[in-house]
Chains A and B, each alone.
Chain A
Amino acid sequence: MIAEEYIWTEGNPIEAVKNLLRSLKESLDKLQEEAEVCAVGTTGSARKLAGVMLGADAVKNEITAHGVGTLSRYPDARTIFEIGGQDAKLILINDGVIVDYAMNTLCAAGTGAFLSSQAKRLGIAVEEMGDMALRSLAPAKIAARCTVFAESDMVHKAQSGYRKEDLVAGLCSAVVTNYLNNLGKGKVIQPPVVFQGGVSKNPAVARAFEKETGLPVIVDENSHLMGAIGAAILAQRAAAGRVFDFRAAERTFSTRAYECGGCANQCEVVCFYQDGVLLDTWGNRCPNYDRQKAALVG
Chain B
Amino acid sequence: MKIGIPKAFLYYRYRELWQTFFQEIGCEIVTSQDTNRAMLLAGTKDSIDESCLPAKIYLGHVRSLIDGCDHIFVPRFENFGKNDVMCDRFMGLHDIVRNVYPEASLIGFDLASTEHKSQWQAYLGLGKTLGKGAIEVLLALRRARLAQEAADQKRQRQQNELFRQQGVKILLAAQPYLIHDPYVGGPLTAMIREQGAIPLYSDHCCRRQCRKRALEICGNLYWIMNKESVGAIAMHRHQVDGIILLAAYPCGSDALVNELVLRKVKDVPVIQIILDEQQSESGLATRVESFIDILKERKRVSA
Chain A interface residues toward B at CB < 8 A: 45, 48, 60-64, 95-101, 103, 105, 186, 263-267, 283, 285
Closest to A44 in B: B286
- Return chain B residues, CB-CB under 8 Å to A60: 289, 293
Asked if A61 and B301 make an inter-chain contact with CB atoms under 8 angstroms apart, the answer reads no
Q: Given contacts A264-B38, A266-B37, are A64 and B301 in contact (CB under 8 A)?
A: no
Q: Given contacts A60-B293, A63-B293, A265-B38, could you give 20 more A-B pairs where the C-beta distance is less than 8 Å?
A: A45-B282, A61-B286, A61-B290, A61-B293, A63-B286, A63-B290, A64-B289, A95-B301, A96-B301, A97-B297, A99-B298, A101-B291, A103-B286, A263-B36, A264-B33, A264-B37, A266-B36, A267-B37, A283-B281, A285-B186
Residues in A whose Cβ lies below 8 Å from that of B38: 264-266
Can you show 9 pairs from A to B with CB atoms below 8 A apart? A62-B290, A64-B289, A96-B301, A98-B293, A186-B263, A264-B38, A265-B38, A265-B183, A283-B281
CA distance A100 to B274 in the complex (A): 17
A45→B287 CA distance, assembly (Å): 12
Q: Which residues 262-303 in B have Cβ within 8 Å of A in the complex?
A: 262-263, 269, 274, 281-282, 285-287, 289-291, 293-294, 297-298, 301
B residues near A96, Cβ cutoff 8 Å: 301
Say yes or no: B286 contacts A101, CB within 8 Å: no
Closest to A94 in B: B298
With a CB–CB cut-off of 8 A, which chain B residues contact A45?
282
B191 to chain A, nearest CB (A): 11
Nearest first, the 8 A-B pairs at minimum CB distance are A63-B290, A264-B36, A264-B38, A61-B289, A64-B293, A265-B36, A266-B37, A61-B286
Q: Which residues of A contact B187 (CB under 8 A)?
A: 285
Most buried by A among B263, B287, B294, B301: B294
Taken residue by residue from 83 to 104, chain B's Cβ proximity to chain A (1 for < 8 Å, 0 otherwise) reads as 0000000000000000000000
B264 to chain A, nearest CB (A): 11
Chain A residues within an 8 Å CB radius of B37? 264-267
In the complex, chain B residues whose CB is within 8 Å of the CB of A64: 289-290, 293-294
Query: Which partner residue on chain A sits nearest B270 by CB separation?
Result: A100
- Which residues on the B side are within 8 Å of A285 (C-beta)? 186-187
Is B39 in the interface zone, CB < 8 Å from A?
yes
Contact of A99 with B301 in the complex, beta carbons under 8 Å: no
* Residue contact A61 to B297, C-beta cutoff 8 Å: no
Inter-chain contact count A-B, CB under 8 Å? 58
Task: Say whether chain A's binding surface is mostly helix, strand, loop, or mixed.
Answer: loop
- Per the bound structure, the CA–CA distance linking A45 and B269 in Å amounts to 24
Inter-chain contact B269/A103, CB cutoff 8 Å: no
Q: Assuming the A-B contacts A61-B290, A63-B293, A64-B290, are A100 and B36 also in contact, with contact meaning beta carbons closer than 8 angstroms in the complex?
A: no
Residue of A nearest to B293 (CB): A64
A286 to B287, CA, bound (A): 21
**Beta-carbon contact of B287 and A103 below 8 Å:** yes
Give the Cβ gap from B114 to chain A, nearest Cβ, in Å: 36
Known: A45-B282, A264-B36. A99 touches B289 (CB 8 A): no
Measured between beta carbons, the chain A residues less than 8 angstroms from B39 are 264
Tell me the bound Cα distance from A266 to B183 in angstroms: 12
Chain A nearest Cβ from B122, distance in angstroms: 33
Distance in Å from the Cβ of B289 to the closest Cβ of chain A?
Answer: 4
Instruction: Report the minimum CB–CB distance from B281 to chain A (whole Å).
Output: 7
B298 cross-chain contacts in A, Cβ below 8 A: 97, 99
> Which parts of B16-57 form the interface with A (CB within 8 Å)?
33, 36-39
Known: A61-B285, A95-B301. A100 touches B294 (CB 8 A): yes
Measured CB to CB, the closest approach of chain A to B121, in angstroms, equals 38
Give Cα distance in the complex from A98 to B289, angstroms.
Answer: 13
Q: How far is the CB of B266 from chain A (nearest CB, A)?
A: 10
CA distance A62 to B285 in the complex (A): 11
Tell me the smallest distance from the CB of B229 to a CB of chain A, in Å. 20
Q: Would you call B269 and A99 a contact (CB within 8 A)?
A: yes
Whether B269 pairs with A100 at a CB distance below 8 angstroms is yes
Q: How far is the CA of A63 from the CA of B262 in the complex (A)?
A: 20
For A66, give the chain B residue with the smallest CB separation: B290
A267, B36: Cα distance in complex, Å: 10
Check A186 against B262 for contact (C-beta < 8 Å): yes
Residues of B within 8 A of A265 (CB): 36-38, 183
A62 to B290: give the CA distance in the assembly, Å.
8
Once bound together, how far apart are the Cα atoms of A98 and B299, in whole Å? Answer: 12
Inter-chain CA distance A62–B39, complex, in Å, is: 34
- Shortest C-beta distance, B153 to chain A (Å), equals 32
Docked pose: A105 CA to B269 CA in angstroms = 19
B143 to chain A, nearest CB (A): 34
Instruction: Indicate if the CB atoms of B281 and A98 lie closer than 8 Å.
Output: no
Q: Output the least CB separation between B265 and chain A (Å).
A: 12
Q: For residue A89, give the distance in angstroms from its CB to the closest CB of chain B.
A: 9
CB distance from B240 to the nearest CB of A (A): 16
A98 in contact with B33 (CB, 8 Å): no
For A95, list chain B residues within 8 Å (CB).
301
Q: Which of A264, A266, A285 has the most CB of B within 10 A?
A: A264
Among residues 133 to 184 in chain B, which have CB atoms less than 8 Å away from a CB atom of chain A?
183
Contacts of B290 in A (CB 8 A): 61-64, 98, 101
